Amino acid sequence: MKLINSVAVIGSGTMGAGIAQVCAQAGVSVFLFDVNEDALLKAKSNIANSYTQAVQKNKITEVEMTASLARIKFTNHFTDLVADLCIEAIVEKLDVKRDLLQRLAAQNSPQCILASNTSSIPITQIAALVPFPERVVGIHFFNPAHLMKLVEVIAGAETSTEVVETAKVFVAKLGKTAVTAKDAPGFIVNRVARHYYVEALKILEENVSSFENIDLLMEASGFKMGPFRLMDLIGIDTNYSVTSSIYEQFAYDSKFRPSRIQKQKVDAGHWGKKRGFGFYKYE
């Protein structure tokens, strides 16, 4: 079984930065890549702040924080991305993911495992044009990656058993719980959770209640976050893309229909906490 000592994470947004953070904290050398220099600077600041909070809560020591930060190389040079494992955490678009994995395959050895953090796109489709598709696997973290314990590991039609087992061992090394899922639209969590968002948006569309009250009711029922507060945290744009993808893959089944309210938020750039405004306003 292949040992993962180095990881390249492509995309320094909320998910990419979170994945880089947990990998570095587990003792793995990390390249965190983004074409946008400002995005890299923001990711570096967010990771440092997250580690600082962990120190304040006595979850890690200052020595561990310093060592973890030192393991992350923030880069906008694609040629730096040579590692045992490459994980993409970019936009939820099939053609973009395929192109990226082909570029990564071209500069890495055939033994390099290529992973996607996709929320909904089948791994078989992503791997279709990649050389040695048996080394392509889904490793799907949940937001926020440094707190959420669950990680879905998804095998495509060509993914080898050894690669799946290597991915599961790696996830365990990060202190996470790996759950294997079939290569179906939305896998497990996003298929089940889709209705948490879609039905809440339908209630809002039909003026049954305000989004604030829907959140309050769901939180009072035991959910840690209401659907609208959670969409703001995930990113309304990301959430809408996942819903649209699942809707298409289930042959436009009406139960997965994206909301026009959510589409309007996306078009307006009201993407949630990362933009300072979504359903709620943020400082």
**Interatomic CA distance for residues 31 and 23, integer angstroms:** 10
pLDDT bucket at 224, cuts 50 / 70 / 90: very high
Provide mean pLDDT across the span 198-209: 96
Catalytic residue among 108, 116, 119, 259: 119
Fold of 6-181: Rossmann fold (3.40.50)
Asked about 50 being catalytic, the answer comes back as no
Confidence at residue 283, expressed as pLDDT on a 0 to 100 scale: 81
Asked about 46 being catalytic, the answer comes back as no
What are the structure tokens assigned to 178, written together? 């790996």
What are the structure tokens assigned to 131, written together? 């050389």
Straight-line distance from the first to the last Cα atom of the chain, in angstroms, rounded to the nearest whole number = 47
The mean predicted confidence, pLDDT, of the chain is 95
DSSP-derived letter for residue 142 is: -
On the question of pLDDT at 238 being above 80, the answer is yes
Confidence at residue 3, expressed as pLDDT on a 0 to 100 scale: 86
Asked about 270 being catalytic, the answer comes back as no
**Interatomic CA distance for residues 46 and 18, integer angstroms:** 9
Catalytic residue among 190, 241, 244, 259: 190
Provide mean pLDDT across the span 256-260: 96
pLDDT bucket at 280, cuts 50 / 70 / 90: very high
On the question of pLDDT at 2 being above 80, the answer is no
Domain extent listing, the chain: 6-181, 191-275
Closest CA to 256 of 186, 165, 187: 186
Catalytic residue among 140, 146, 244, 245: 140
Considering the entire predicted model, what is its pTM?
0.90
Confidence at residue 10, expressed as pLDDT on a 0 to 100 scale: 98
Provide mean pLDDT across the span 231-244: 93
Asked about 190 being catalytic, the answer comes back as yes
CATH class as words, domain 191-275:
mainly alpha
**Interatomic CA distance for residues 108 and 7, integer angstroms:** 12
Confidence at residue 85, expressed as pLDDT on a 0 to 100 scale: 98
Catalytic residue among 88, 92, 134, 152: 152
